[in-house]
Structure 1
């Protein structure tokens, strides 16, 4: 098992969100379907907001928390978004949502692991907050997908 600081975990999460955002933006450039384009736009904005949240979280978290070491096996970003290998411009909205939810679930699992491994109350609270954030964003994504028929 590898070790990483809390800052490393936040940077990994930010990078993952950025990669997902870039993927959605690339698919937007290629799709001809209006509903799919709108869902891709929403997902890209979702990932962009989360990437920015990771940056601001790093900036607002105490240095002593950011410097804490934890067991963390990051794996590659491509493994985290492995379902995106199946991406193509003619995907359905449902397929896109499935990919987005897999990314959210991956990070929720990661953050829950970090909560269980936390050595201080401050880092435990940080990762609990990130679990809540990802769960809230997951619900928003599902709601947006359910409302796609209204578009």
Structure 2
């Protein structure tokens, strides 16, 4: 996907969450570890919810901001998680799955932070800040859930 505008960026982020939700969901039955399988199921649902929330940004953001050109996107390395096969997570342990998922969210937050630092328009900065805040809040919620599952 070619990312030229903030509209493209948000659509791309939504697609990343959708792809991850699908990959995690398709790995549930293939993972023989009960805890890991339960984590995959939870994470799949969580990523589906993030896909839905990200889609709301597409609907509610100022159309002028959405059409704003995005110049520095290609300075970022491509996200590794988008290239993983659908059943990739089926072979991983509980801890390995958690590491992969947090790495994905850290990558996305780093991208948003970078874009926020370079935002020249207040409206663009506000949008990126909202995206970053959503990812940060969801990552904290995810960390609490994973920790509580790990305690069981």
TM-score (norm 2): 0.86
2:58 match = 58
1:136 match = 137
Q: Are the equivalent residues in 2 in contact too, given 1:84–1:99 (CA < 8 A)?
A: no
1:41 match = 41
Report matched runs for 1:93-104 at 5 Å.
93-104=94-105
1:87 match = 88
1:16–1:82 Cα change, 3 Å: closer
Task: Measure the CA separation in 1 of the matches of 2:126 and 2:141.
Answer: 23
1:7 positional shift? 0.3
Task: Measure the CA separation in 1 of the matches of 2:100 and 2:83.
Answer: 6
1:106 match = 107
1:117 positional shift? 2.1
Q: Are the equivalent residues in 2 in contact too, given 1:25–1:44 (CA < 8 A)?
A: yes
**Could you say what secondary structure the match of 2:4 adopts?**
strand
Unaligned runs of 5+ in 1: none
1:98 positional shift? 0.5
Task: Measure the CA separation in 2 of the matches of 1:41 and 1:47.
Answer: 10
Query: Which stretch shifts more, 63-72 or 137-146?
Result: 137-146
TM-score (norm 1): 0.86
1:33–1:17 Cα change, 3 Å: same
The number of equivalent residue pairs is 148
1:90 positional shift? 3.9
Task: Measure the CA separation in 1 of the matches of 2:111 and 2:92.
Answer: 27
* Runs of 4+ in structure 1 over 4 Å off: 82-86
